[in-house]
């Protein structure tokens, strides 16, 4: 018996869960796993929308056959060519050799680069329609959300948007597949971590795609992404979150991230956090950059307005784990945050001075003066840390 889930009479979720992969894209921890969502429309013509990772092909093909039996797959629609969604294309083609592969012109360049030349291409343009019988599929190009070939497929009959990687998130679907079947609090942190690390730097393209969908005045009864829950009860929830995140809108709170060799920079981080709390800030997150993967740190920096970064000096430079943090922040192109800087030095500097250079490059508003302690913080440095905390809290509270 294989698990397939009916979205309606003719549309089915045929996705799979991955609890074995440790790192998504060999970068991002999958502590809670990930789902690869694929969909099947069993109409007069049979269409599958996106496939799954190549390690899940056997279970995937069984799911297709359990629904359509001896029928053939007429169309394989590729909304996104990344291998976690295209990994079973060759297996589907081998089992259903007459299948037509549906994509845009950029899709097939990626297809051939990954898997070699195939036949039976059905090339679509923006707004084209594919008639399956009862179900009519309309295609909309959404480039750079988050690859150049990305598109979305809209089922005009069932009002389902098959959105590729947009509106997706980390986390396996443990029994529940739909938003009304799962605890969304459990998923929202992983959805935001997915957005901030995978899609985040393409915020302007996300805004462009959202505007396009809004201008088309489409009705969304269901949003069906390629990762995470299928949104059938409140699809506006995920749309609103993507809109907010892609505008870099924030909540009140402060993320303190530090790199510390012997605990002295950490002392300053804890002191600043306490003073923020005394000033009325409740959402405070402290991260040791050497211990917490940068994807979790970025997710919270995406969420909160205040950021305070601290580093000891390390061989005249930033502490290495803090180099990773600021590199990821810059790569994410995240804007409009408040930034405080602190740290320690001993026989050389390099921690605080390089964080100051980072602040100049990223052009976030500086809060207070940078605080640098010689070897360990003394009363003078703690006083300056307290002043930084007070100024940060004042800024945040003024925006309530």
| Domains of the chain listed by start with CATH number | 5-246 (3.60.15.10), 255-393 (3.40.50.360)
CA 178 – CA 176 distance, rounded (Å): 6
Token output for 101? 């592969």
Q: What are phi and psi of 373, to 5 degrees?
A: -100, 145
| pLDDT attached to residue 51 | 97
Q: What is the mean pLDDT of the chain?
A: 95
So what's the pLDDT on residue 186? Answer: 83
Q: Which two tokens stand for residue 31?
A: 């502590």
Separation between Cα atoms, residue 340 and residue 367, nearest integer Å: 5
Residue 399 to residue 116: CA distance in whole angstroms: 55
Residue located via tokens 């969502």: 37
Which residue is associated with the tokens 């329609």?
129
For the cut 80, the answer to whether the pLDDT of residue 1 exceeds it is no
Tokens (6 digits) for 162: 């098959």
Which of the four pLDDT bands, split at 50, 70 and 90, describes residue 185?
confident
β-bridge partners, 306 = 254, 338
Please state the rounded mean pLDDT for residues 37-53.
Answer: 97
Q: Find, among 377, 399, 378, 397, the residue nearest to 389 by Cα.
A: 397
Q: Identify the helix (H) or strand (E) that includes residue 99.
A: none
Cβ proximity of 358 and 390 under 8 Å? no
Cis omega (within 30 of 0) on the bond before 310?
no
pLDDT classification of 308: cutoffs 50, 70, 90: very high
Cα-based distances in Å from 203 to 24, 197, 249, 295: 21, 11, 11, 17
Question: 75-77 and 46-49: which strand pairing?
Answer: parallel
- The answer to whether residue 224 scores a pLDDT higher than 90 is yes
Residues in CB range of 291: below 8 A, 6 or more apart: none
Query: For the packed helices 294-303 and 320-332, what is the interaxial angle rounded to 10 degrees?
Result: 50
Confidence of residue 304 (pLDDT cuts 50, 70, 90): very high
Instruction: Specify the pLDDT at position 76.
Output: 98
- Bridge-partner residues for 345, per DSSP? 374
Q: What sign for the dihedral angle of Cα 293, 297, 299, 300? A: positive
Instruction: Report the range of poorest mean pLDDT among 75-79, 342-346, 347-351.
Output: 347-351
Q: Please state, for a pLDDT cut of 70, what percent of the chain lies above it.
A: 100
The single-letter DSSP state of residue 230 is: B
The pLDDT, as a whole number, for residue 3 is: 81
Is residue 2's pLDDT more than 80? Answer: no
pLDDT band at 201 (very low <50, low <70, confident <90, very high): confident
Q: Per-residue pLDDT for 96 more than 80?
A: yes
CB atoms within 10 A of CB 124: 22
Q: So what's the pLDDT on residue 256?
A: 98
Which region among 234-248, 272-286, 380-394 has the lowest average model confidence (pLDDT)? 234-248
Which token pair is 94?
């081998």
Does the structure show a pLDDT above 90 at 57?
Answer: no
Which helix (H) or strand (E) element contains residue 331? helix 320-332
Q: Terminal CA-to-CA distance of the chain, rounded, Å?
A: 54
Residue 34 above 90 pLDDT? yes
pLDDT band at residue 271 under the 50/70/90 scheme: very high
* pLDDT at position 160: 98
Tell me if 16 sits within 8 A of 59, measured CB to CB. Answer: yes
């Amino acid at each position: 018996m294989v698990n397939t889930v009916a979205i309606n009479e003719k549309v089915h979720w045929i996705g799979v869960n991955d609890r074995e992969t440790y790192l998504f894209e060999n970068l991002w921890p999958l502590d809670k796993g990930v789902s690869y969502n694929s969909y099947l429309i069993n109409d007069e013509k049979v269409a599958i929308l996106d496939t799954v990772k190549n390690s899940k092909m056997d279970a995937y093909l069984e799911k297709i056959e359990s629904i359509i039996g001896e029928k053939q797959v007429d169309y394989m629609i590729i909304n996104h060519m990344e291998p976690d969604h295209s990994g079973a294309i060759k297996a589907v083609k081998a089992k259903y050799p007459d299948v037509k592969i549906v994509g845009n012109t950029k899709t097939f360049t990626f297809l051939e680069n990954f898997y070699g030349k195939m036949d039976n291409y059905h090339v679509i343009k923006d707004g084209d329609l594919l008639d399956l019988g009862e179900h009519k599929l309309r295609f909309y190009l959404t480039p750079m959300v988050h690859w150049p070939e990305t598109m979305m497929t809209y089922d005009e009959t069932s009002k389902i948007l098959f959105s590729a990687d947009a509106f997706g998130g980390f986390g396996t679907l443990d029994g529940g597949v739909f938003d009304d079947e799962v605890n969304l609090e459990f998923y929202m942190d992983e959805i935001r971590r997915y957005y901030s690390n995978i899609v985040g730097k393409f915020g302007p393209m996300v805004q462009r795609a959202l505007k396009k969908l809004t201008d088309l005045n489409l009705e969304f009864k269901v949003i069906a992404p390629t990762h995470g829950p299928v949104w059938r009860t409140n699809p506006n929830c995920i749309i609103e979150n993507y809109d907010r995140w892609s505008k870099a809108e924030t909540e009140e709170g402060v993320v303190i991230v530090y790199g510390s060799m012997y605990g002295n920079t950490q002392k300053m981080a804890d002191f600043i956090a306490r003073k923020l709390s005394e000033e009325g800030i409740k959402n405070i997150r402290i991260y040791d950059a050497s211990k917490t993967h940068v994807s979790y740190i970025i997710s919270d920096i995406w969420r909160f307005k205040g950021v305070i970064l601290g580093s000891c000096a390390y061989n005249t430079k930033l502490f290495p784990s803090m180099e990773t943090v600021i590199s990821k922040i810059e790569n994410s192109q995240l804007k409009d945050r408040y930034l405080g800087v602190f740290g320690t030095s001993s026989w050389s500097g390099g921690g605080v001075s390089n964080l100051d250079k980072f602040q100049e490059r990223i052009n976030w508003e500086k809060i207070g003066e940078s605080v640098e302690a010689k070897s360990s913080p003394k009363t003078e440095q703690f006083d300056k840390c307290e002043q930084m905390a007070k100024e940060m809290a004042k800024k945040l509270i003024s925006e309530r």
